Amino acid sequence: MNTPIRRLSIFTMALFAILMLNLSWIQGFRANALIEDPLNKRQYSEYLSQPRGPIEIAGESVAFSEDVAEDGTSPLYQREYTGGGMYTPITGVLSVYSTTGIERAQNSLLDGTDDRLAVRNFRDIITGRDPEGARVQLTLDPAVQEAGYNGFQNGGFQGAAVALDPSTGAVLGAVSYPTFDANDVASVTDRNTAVANFQELENDPSQPLLNRALNERYPPGSTFKVVTAAAAIENLDATPDSTQEAPDNLQFPTGPPLPNATPGGTCNGGEPDTLAHSIQISCNTSMANWAIEMGGQTLSDQATAFGFNPDEGEELRIPLPVTGSLAPPESEDSILGRAGIGQSNVEATPLQMAMVAAGVANGGEVMRPYVVDSVLDSDMSVVTETQPETFSQAVSASTAQDLKDMMVLVTGPGGSGTNGAIPGMEVAGKTGTAETGGDQGTHNWFIGFAPADDPEVAVAVVIEHGGGSGGTLAAPIARAMMEAVVTE
């Protein structure tokens, strides 16, 4: 064999070896990932030939499969959704264009291919029974979800709200507005219209596809003062009666001065103000001074204890992915002071601020949030059931009690959040009005929990570019969501 032929033979064999390795990698190691890829249209086509398990809230199916075949022979299953857009940010949608939300996160259980359903699947093969996906039961409370959804819809607001059971971490409500009706993009009989609708949603500047409750970060404004107060009590031995300088305008060695809530505003006539009163009326300058005294690392560490600053790859999943919130350590006084009042580089999701409120409500113990309560097989046997799990001990029980007492002042006479009060019941709260650095108006916040003496629900509400205050815009929605729990 001459040299050119030998080289060609070796090259050809090398190509075959590479081809075999590639096929082995795809079929042996990448098969499941490719099958589950939401861009796999063949996967979507297979979904249409078999029923998919329902997604349930309070025992009612809010997402289910229905045979829409017109010829009466080959089944053609289409996903149907109830509640308009109220549940879409959580349930997500199964469509020819994408799979999102719980539909994606729990896909293998819903379509019946999960290994935990192997025994059932084998039994169905033996008996000739048609396969069915498992039913996924969510933690959402319909009354809480509806109260939040109606508040945004009726007010014409954009933003989000989250309600948690502080003792377990169960997500009772997760509203993102604007939203969309999943049925508009789920049609299998008119795919062109469904795709066109989805593309229109993608191009909508109001971003109805964005789950603001879990995946949008906002400056939390004065609601972050709860974290600053927690750090002061835990690290500086502060008490609600401890005082801090509270000038009408706080001057820094560099950078612009920090005013109080309104130009010329005052907290205590310019005199030192107590921590309790600073929380009650939401004083900027005193809380900035607390942050400067403790230092940037201490403030950041306290935020981390509540759930901020997750390591890369360690962000929460509930099981939906949650964007990590940020409160990095600052060193320059001008930046650190503003971080202490929830501005500067501090950014939080509504879920994160609900975790702050829930941690205070639960004696300083932050529970890990979750939205899937249980998964049942088609025979109603339990496949999985979520057990409450501690996320962190953010503060001591005594610190949590001090924070709770101060937050009760916020919704009482003279507080900044009286619109969050529930008649006949003590409610703990904190308002926030966050500057956005633009000309679109402030973000308006309220976090809180009720009843203050035996908390059943913790909430966080943010209204984008409301231009008002957290006490006037966000607090009424938070109150309605809390009332849905405590007045049942």
Measured CA to CA in angstroms, residue 113 lies from 29, 76, 107 at distances of 17, 19, 9
Q: What percent of the chain has pLDDT over 70?
A: 89
DSSP string across 402-419? HHHHHHHHHHSTT-TTGG
What's the whole-model pTM score? Answer: 0.88
**Contact between 323 and 216 (Cβ < 8 Å):** yes
Average pLDDT in the chain? 90
**Closest C-alpha to 157, from 443, 460, 450:** 443
- pLDDT at residue 214 greater than cutoff 60: yes
**According to DSSP H, which parts of 318-396 are helical?**
333-339, 350-361
Measured CA to CA in angstroms, residue 445 lies from 54, 95, 96, 214 at distances of 34, 34, 37, 16
Over residues 366-406, the pLDDT tens digits come to 999 999 999 998 888 899 999 999 999 999 999 999 999 99
* Catalytic center residues: 222
Banded pLDDT at 346 (limits 50, 70, 90): very high
Banded pLDDT at 190 (limits 50, 70, 90): confident
Mean pLDDT, rounded, for 180-204: 93
Contacts of 248 (CB under 8 A, 6+ apart): 259, 260, 264, 265, 266, 267, 270, 285
Over residues 26-56, the pLDDT tens digits come to 555 555 555 555 455 555 556 676 889 999 9
Domains of the chain in start order, with CATH, are 215-373+387-486 (3.40.710.10)
Determine the pLDDT at residue 128.
53
- pLDDT at residue 476 greater than cutoff 90: yes
Contacts of 135 (CB under 8 A, 6+ apart): 53, 54, 55, 56, 61, 375, 376, 378
**Contact between 165 and 79 (Cβ < 8 Å):** no
- pLDDT at residue 278 greater than cutoff 70: yes
3-state percent helix, strand, coil for the chain, nearest multiple of 5: 40, 20, 40
- The 3-class SS string of 29-55 reads CCHHHHHHCCCCHHHHHHHCCCCCCCE
Q: Do you know the residue count of the chain?
A: 488
288 phi and psi angles, rounded to 5 deg:
-65, -40
